[in-house]
Amino acid sequence: MAKTASTPGELGNSKTTSKIRFSTPLLRPKATATVSGHGESSTWTFLTLPKEVSSKLPSRGQVTVEGTINGAALRATLEPDGQGGHWLKVDRKMREAAGARAGDVVTLEIAPVAEEPEPTVPADLRKALASAPTKAREAWSDITPAARRDFIHWIVSPKRPETRVKRIATACDMLAKGKRRPCCFDRSGMYSNSLSCPVADDKVK
């Protein structure tokens, strides 16, 4: 069972009055799990945040945090699980730095970053923006990194490729019309049922 604790003080560059400490198992997804474009693979691992930890974060959507995992430096973006909580993909590099493997209990100390980092723009969206009207490109440059991340998250979240293509075109149109956020985007996945946490392989102990 995951354990949590909250202590005062700053963590890294986070301008926060507290850091959150908790322990939770490192899980391996089922081989058929396909989440947010990670593909059908069991080579990566993930962890889920205890509900009481997620409740202390500033958003039910994506949240970038910094801190440590088993004492190793950590800076990553937590993903919403569609139920008001969060989960974190732990890739091989992060797992090796933590000296952990699937089935181990890892200890994290995290706090939200002071400023959200610039997101990585997918190649298809970058190409579409390059040929979009000038107003769309100017709007994209003018909005905040958090708003750009919302657009990207909205575009990449569908499972059907044709939906993604349609959303890219819609995003460029919205930007050209001066809209600074994707319309009606449920960044938590709680109401649209569009987001979820990977399913753990219960055979891994």
pTM higher than 0.85 = no
pLDDT tens digits, one per residue of 50-82: 999 999 999 999 999 999 999 999 999 999 999
CATH 2.40.30.100 holds for 3-112:
yes
CATH 2.40.30.100 domain span(s) along the chain:
3-112
pLDDT tens digits, one per residue of 20-34: 999 999 999 987 544
List the Cα angle 95/23/202 in 5-degree steps: 70
In angstroms, what CA-CA distances link 66 with 89, 109, 202?
Answer: 14, 8, 29
Q: What phi-psi label fits residue 168: left (phi over 0), alpha (psi between -120 and 50 degrees) or beta? A: alpha
pLDDT at 202 over 90: no
Mean of the pLDDT values across residues 131-157?
Answer: 94
